[in-house]
Structure 1
Amino acid sequence: MFGKLKEKLLETTSKITERIYKKGGEEEKIEEKIKEDKVDKIEEKIEEVKKSEKMDEHKKEKKISFFDRFGLTRAIKKAIKKEIVILEDDIEDILEELEIELLEADVALDVVEKLIENIKKELVGRKITPDDDVEEITINAIRTAIKNILSQKKIDLEEIIKANKAKGKPTVIVFVGINGTGKTTTIAKLAYKLKQKGYSVVLAAGDTFRAGAIEQLEQHAKNIGVKVIKHKQGADSAAVIYDAIQHAKARGIDVVLADTAGRQATNANLMEEIKKVVRVTKPDLVIFVGDALTGNDAVYQAEEFNRAVNIDGIILTKVDADAKGGAALSIGYAIGKPILYLGVGQRYSDLVEFNADWMVKKLFGEEEFKFSTEREF
């Protein structure tokens, strides 16, 4: 998960750390230490990773410290001989490399530019003394820069549900996105999660266009034990969702999760239809479901849907298979809306709440995430 992005961030962190040590110490001693340690340390770590891969192919991202990874050790810290100040010239070339590498990892351009700017703010002008932990300073600087990108205003779904329940009305959530992102399955996963927490849920089969969409939603509903409100294929999507809302009101159901047909943002007629759905049903939340594997395309799609219907939040699917990580880093910042959940596997339980701290830890190899390939549907 996020392998390419993680690799580039680790590499950049190590390069900056090494550059600072060289500036503050005796370069010749550092180079000697690198040569001494490099072969033994790298070979040792490669063997560890190989053993890890044999045990579990999903644990390839075994944590390797930054110094071990690039042949440096904590002994090099003794090379800092005097107080120094980090200048922009000291790290400019490294950040230029990172900029290109982030773009290759499908991070959106405006996000790349903001991230580089944030890293400079954190590091340039920083005083380093012989007593400082340069590795920690570098890691924390990049960590903070990334967290600033990821931190959007949060939405507490349970708080919304409880507030509406107190008023005697259901919480209505409409899901939008293009074809094939996994909207229907994501709706089932969220229904399962909410039901596990004790909330009553009804599903609205608002995708009346795709062949088999209603039947797919019905099967999910049967599996998790909730009801579906449906009309015939080709019926008006807004009418189906409206009926589901009335059903929920009449029976005191807590949440209505409404499916809609996948549509390309470039299709003007279909985008007008989704605008009508939102206008008629007046949902509490409009959630965009994006496929993490599509990278920058997911960002573009989210921007287009946001312009059309003002989405409130994002769910990214197929994150467990995302080798690059660009969409997860970019999409929230690009449209100024929070990522709510990540789809990380094939089970109904494989929908996790998004957390910026977890994401940062994951990108720095400090957090292992176990996901299952076992399929429930």
Structure 2
Amino acid sequence: MAFDSLTEKLQNVFKNLRSKGRLTEEDVKLALREVKMALLEADVNFKVVKGFVKDVQERAVGQDVMNGLNPGQMVIKIVNEELIRLMGSETTEIQLQPGQATTVIMMAGLQGAGKTTTTAKIAGKLKLKGKKPLLVACDVYRPAAIKQLQVNGEKQGVEVFSMGENHKPVNIAKAAMEHAAKNGNNVVILDTAGRLHIDEEMMEELQEIKEHVEVHQTILVVDAMTGQDAVNVANDFNQKIGIDGVIVTKLDGDTRGGAALSIRAVTGKPILYVGMGEKLSDLEQFYPDRMASRILGMGDVLSLIEKVGEDIDEDKAREMGKKIKKAQFDFEDYLESMNQMKKMGGLSSILSMMPGMNMAQMKGFDSEEGEKKMAQMEAIIYSMTVKERRNPEILNPSRKHRIAKGAGVDISEVNRMIKQFEQSKKMMKQLPNLMGGKGGKKGRFKLPF
């Protein structure tokens, strides 16, 4: 995740605080100096860092903290609370018009930020909430943008309105409103043109659309990988056309993540969603408290639980639970458990939400290597016949040689995977609650190794 480096540095600071029985004012100042450097290195806005450290210090050197039984933990608690406040305290939703009234959302942003893909992702989210969105292709300067919106709209099962490249965006927006009124679309999402940088022509185009169409929400898409520039872009857009919220993309990448910590403080506008991957489902609601927990290495169990609820088929999980109890778990079920993990974003996505799973704790674990091993295991299972998958006990040496050849691996890899499978099977048999047994919702899936 983008904040891994920041998380590691903060945890080192907190480790030193925890080791002290009592804290002096100098201890707190020294720790906050290191916090300040960690935030600046993460590309958080300088003024934001200055205000943040000042607020934490004022609270941390108070009498209650300095004389408390565990002052180190109290300081960590204050840092957590101030991080949450910095990012907006409360989760903000896209504001929709009441009832069946049509909501118009205008998406804006620079080229390369992932605006068109994010526009389709938002349409998918709103469709799941029972809305009937209409995607509108207003980017007439980049032919690929119209095609991209149409492809992504089709994947989401959402209608796309387009008039090609030879009409002004404002006229396309007006025609789309008429289309929506006739066809019962209660959300109209305008995918406007991006530019390589902010220019007057771009701003005038957005202002013109706002003058002729009643836009209820203007949402800016910014790229986390551009760091402090993302904050400056957000500030410029807000001052020139007015924005209601921000979506930060590419927060799953190798970035410093400072934009997510600075945008609310600099613009006063909330972060609505964060993009955590390429897939159309990889758009997460932004929860300041959960993000603060991730940054401080406390994990994000609530988001993990929600991800399980969204991506795991409960009927399949229940059926697998029954098989485990009866010792009928086979390689087809093993394959299914891996597919379910993929739906949730893969091993690294799951581990990023687990408490303590940051760079410091994962130095001995290579998530990329873990994903490769999973792919190898899949190849081995796919090289088996259906009969072999359902009856692992028939796997004799000649069958194993054939499977190894089919998967392009050494027979020792096949033997190793079969041994792991048998060990997993024994362990899961001892833990009937793991996949939907008694106790209901207690952990509906099992990592396949």
- Given the two structures, how large is their TM-score scaled by the length of structure 2? 0.64
Partner of 2:96: 161
The C-alpha deviation readout for 1:4-56, integer Å capped at 9, x for no partner, is: 221222223233444x53xx3xxxxxxxxxxxxxxxxxxxxxxxxxxxxxxxx
Which of residues 217, 227, 238 in structure 2 aligns to 1:295? 227
Change (3 A) 1:357 1:155: closer
Distance 1:152 1:237 in 2: 36
Which of residues 69, 73, 76 in structure 2 aligns to 1:132? 69
Change (3 A) 1:221 1:120: same
Deviates more, 1:356-365 or 1:241-250: 241-250
Which of residues 116, 122, 125 in structure 2 aligns to 1:190? 122
8 Å Cα contact 1:108-1:330 kept in structure 2: yes
Distance 2:188 2:145 in 1: 17
The C-alpha deviation readout for 1:309-335, integer Å capped at 9, x for no partner, is: 110000111111144221111112210
**Alpha-carbon offset, residue 239 of structure 1:** 1.3
- Name the SS of the counterpart of 1:212 in structure 2: helix
Partner of 2:429: none
The C-alpha deviation readout for 1:65-96, integer Å capped at 9, x for no partner, is: xxxxxxxxxxxxxxxxxxx7x43x33223322
**Alpha-carbon offset, residue 152 of structure 1:** 5.8
Deviates more, 1:196-205 or 1:117-126: 117-126
**Structure 1 ranges of 4+ moved more than 4 A:** 128-131, 368-371
8 Å Cα contact 1:346-1:373 kept in structure 2: no
**Amino acid in structure 1 at the alignment position of 2:212:** V
Alignment of 1:213-224 (within 5 A): 213-224=145-156
8 Å Cα contact 2:65-2:75 kept in structure 1: no
Partner of 2:278: 346
Partner of 2:48: 111
Percent identity reads 34
**Alpha-carbon offset, residue 305 of structure 1:** 0.6
8 Å Cα contact 2:18-2:72 kept in structure 1: yes
- Name the SS of the counterpart of 1:163 in structure 2: coil
**Alpha-carbon offset, residue 210 of structure 1:** 1.1
Distance 1:208 1:243 in 2: 15
The C-alpha deviation readout for 1:153-172, integer Å capped at 9, x for no partner, is: 65433xx435152xxx3100
8 Å Cα contact 1:319-1:342 kept in structure 2: yes
Distance 1:164 1:262 in 2: 32
Distance 1:367 1:211 in 2: 42
**Amino acid in structure 1 at the alignment position of 2:8:** E
Partner of 1:248: 180
**Alpha-carbon offset, residue 185 of structure 1:** 0.4
Partner of 2:418: none
**Alpha-carbon offset, residue 292 of structure 1:** 1.0
**Alpha-carbon offset, residue 278 of structure 1:** 2.1
8 Å Cα contact 2:137-2:146 kept in structure 1: yes
**Alpha-carbon offset, residue 142 of structure 1:** 0.7
Partner of 1:273: 205
Distance 1:5 1:329 in 2: 12
8 Å Cα contact 1:203-1:229 kept in structure 2: yes
8 Å Cα contact 1:164-1:171 kept in structure 2: no
Partner of 2:420: none
Structure with larger RCO (C-alpha < 8 A, sep 6+)? 1
Change (3 A) 1:345 1:241: same
Alignment of 1:1-377 (within 5 A): 1=1, 2-18=3-19, 20-21=20-21, 24=22, 86-87=24-25, 89-127=26-64, 132-151=69-88, 155-157=92-94, 160-161=95-96, 163=98, 165=100, 169-368=101-300, 372=345
Change (3 A) 1:301 1:362: same
Change (3 A) 1:264 1:334: farther
Report how many aligned residue pairs link the two structures: 305
Structure 1 gap ranges (5+): 25-83
8 Å Cα contact 2:89-2:289 kept in structure 1: no
Distance 2:123 2:65 in 1: 51
Change (3 A) 1:128 1:153: closer
Partner of 2:324: none
**Alpha-carbon offset, residue 234 of structure 1:** 4.2
- Name the SS of the counterpart of 1:319 in structure 2: coil
Distance 2:65 2:35 in 1: 23
Distance 1:195 1:360 in 2: 29
Deviates more, 1:258-267 or 1:224-233: 258-267
**Alpha-carbon offset, residue 97 of structure 1:** 3.0
Distance 2:5 2:197 in 1: 28
**Alpha-carbon offset, residue 262 of structure 1:** 0.7
- Given the two structures, how large is their TM-score scaled by the length of structure 1? 0.75
- Name the SS of the counterpart of 1:321 in structure 2: coil
**Alpha-carbon offset, residue 256 of structure 1:** 0.7
Distance 2:184 2:123 in 1: 16
Structure 2 gap ranges (5+): 305-343, 348-449
8 Å Cα contact 1:346-1:372 kept in structure 2: no
- Name the SS of the counterpart of 1:304 in structure 2: helix
CA RMSD after TM alignment: 2.2
Q: Which has the larger radius of gyration?
A: 2
Distance 1:134 1:94 in 2: 13
8 Å Cα contact 1:161-1:254 kept in structure 2: no
Distance 1:336 1:14 in 2: 33
